[in-house]
Amino acid sequence: MKSKLIVDWNPTLWASAVFVSTFCFHTFAFPPYDIAELAYLLPVPILLWLFYKPPSSRIFLAAAGGAFWLSWLVLIFWLRHVTWLGWFGLASVLSLFPAGWALLVFWWVPRFKNRGFSVRLLGILSVCSGWVILECVRTFFLTGFPWLPLAASQWKRPVMLQVSSLTGFYGVSFVLLLVGVTIAFYIRHLLQGRKRGWQRFCPEFLLGIAVWLFVTFGIFQFNFVPGQRVPLFDVALVQPYIPQTVKWDASQSPRIMSQIENLVIFQKHIGADIAVLPEAAMPYPLIGDDSMRDWVEKLARDFGGPLLMGALAAEGPTLLDDPWFNGFMLVYPDDGLVPDYYQKRQRVPFGEFIPFRQALFFLEKFVPIGGDIAPGKSAAPLRLRMPGGEVLIGPLICYEDIFPSLAADSAREGAQVLFVITNDAWYGEEGAPYQHAAHSVLRAVETRRPIVRVGNGGWSGWIDENGNIRDVLISNEGSIYFRGSEVVEVSYNPQILREQTFFVRYGNWFVWVCAAVVALFLLVLRRAPPGREEEAEWERVGRMKINIPKR
């Protein structure tokens, strides 16, 4: 008997289904929800809609673009703790990129879905490449904010991330899209009725599964073979959890310093070699305030080992003069504060500087320090002296770990381990720290360097060079949001540490390959547009009703 299936839905039902499913797949694949497998399904509803009931561009953009916009509103809902207007505006900007990808799909898919296999394959690769190119553009657009690329959904699935050492996170996003697109083609293949002989197989789906198997259980499988690991150091991760409402309150400074001192000294008694504190941990600048420097140097002597910490540096003649830097500093018990320190390279717009300050002078009140924080220039690693020899560390401050190029620069300069210090306490006890930590996992695999990560209120822990989360600071109640500290042993694989990954050496080469694929696809479409028979076939398939035999 004949039965109406999804191909017979009216336009309103199709639009509603695509809106709801796209929103759910894009939102719940990411932390803190972490249903990572939903990322594979992201393109399926959109493609099925274009296969069977192609809508008008207005309806399509309202459904697909609206789903991405609502998804970003939910994903960065934590930003409202800082600015409601910024939350709404940033979600709108972030949604433009997947919405732009949806428009590309709307234009491309009808032009290749019924062509020969070679053109279909090129079209599928172009659909995936388009997403990658837009993710790359987001890394640089308006100072850049590559928050939650599709690859970040796999931060707890390290087997899926290993291709990042070759391609950067872009390769992971590409494979996720490729599997999803080929699933859509397979569903379409099944709905077209029974096939005979070789026609029973869907070549697109076989290709997608083959690529997925290759990049997950193929050439990178060796990374998960147990090997000899060498201890690097025992590090005390100090998480003071200083509320933003009191962090810069001078009357609260003695209490803050006392809490930090207690956390640091306690961890020395249980065997820490070094202690790491989060971004801007001190209530006053460590460079430019002699009393603050004296107190920290005394703390290092009492601790009996190196302190690694985030602190502000006032390099001007007085505290009121520029330049100010957001720094990562080393303090030794014998030599005190090391003059050479890391200066944050990627500043937070409207938090540490005002873009286009002359034109937007009226926004100065949004910058917590009177003037702009100056940008650092160097990715040179800091030399951490240990009893067993020097360890070269590459610091990343605040949201610098969301930028793959910054971590790659540090690894290229010789960093053996990356340290990420941040302060996500601005954003409440919601999803921001988990989402932020997902980027550190990507950076670990891209550079094949262990990452030690300390947040003011969480997420703190360490990640090995294969993206495995080895330790996370968790309270007795199972929460990452607490004041405390813990000693963890950081180790490494000496064979991997001696090498630089393909991504570190050659950067965003994969994005250029994706751009070439898209250019070739557009050239093929221009030189060989679909014929009338193919156009008729599109319409016939779109109107067909599926025969479902009774059981």
Tokens representing residue 363 in the block: 């926004």
CA 401 distance to own-chain centroid: 8
For residues 244 and 425, the answer to whether their CB atoms sit within 8 Å is: yes
Determine the Cα–Cα distance for residues 333 and 97; give it in Å rounded to an integer: 50
SS (H, E, C) 68-100: HHHHHHHHCHHHHHCCHHHHHHHHHHHHHHHHH
Residue 225: exposed, middle, or buried by beta-carbon count in 10 A (0-12, 13-18, 19+)? exposed
For residues 104 and 89, the answer to whether their CB atoms sit within 8 Å is: no
Q: How many CB atoms lie within 10 A of CB 200?
A: 9
Query: Choosing from 24, 136, 398, 514, which is the catalytic residue?
Result: 398
Tokens representing residue 180 in the block: 């999803």
Determine the Cα–Cα distance for residues 442 and 165; give it in Å rounded to an integer: 9
Query: Choosing from 113, 136, 204, 279, which is the catalytic residue?
Result: 279
- The radius of gyration of the chain's CA atoms, rounded to the nearest angstrom, is 26
344: annotated active-site residue:
yes
Of the candidates 203, 150, 157, the one whose C-alpha atom is nearest the C-alpha of residue 175 is 150
For residues 324 and 371, the answer to whether their CB atoms sit within 8 Å is: yes
Tokens representing residue 187 in the block: 């569903």
Between strands 461-463 and 484-492, the pairing is unpaired
Determine the Cα–Cα distance for residues 192 and 537; give it in Å rounded to an integer: 12
Looking at beta carbons, which pairs linking 334-340 to residues 24 or more positions away fall under 8 Å? 336/293, 336/297, 336/300, 337/286, 337/287, 337/293, 337/296, 337/297, 338/382, 340/382
Question: Measured on CA atoms in the order 89, 355, 346, 143, is the torsion positive or negative?
Answer: positive
CA 84 distance to own-chain centroid: 23
For residues 166 and 501, the answer to whether their CB atoms sit within 8 Å is: yes
For residues 504 and 411, the answer to whether their CB atoms sit within 8 Å is: yes
The catalytic residue positions are: 279, 344, 398
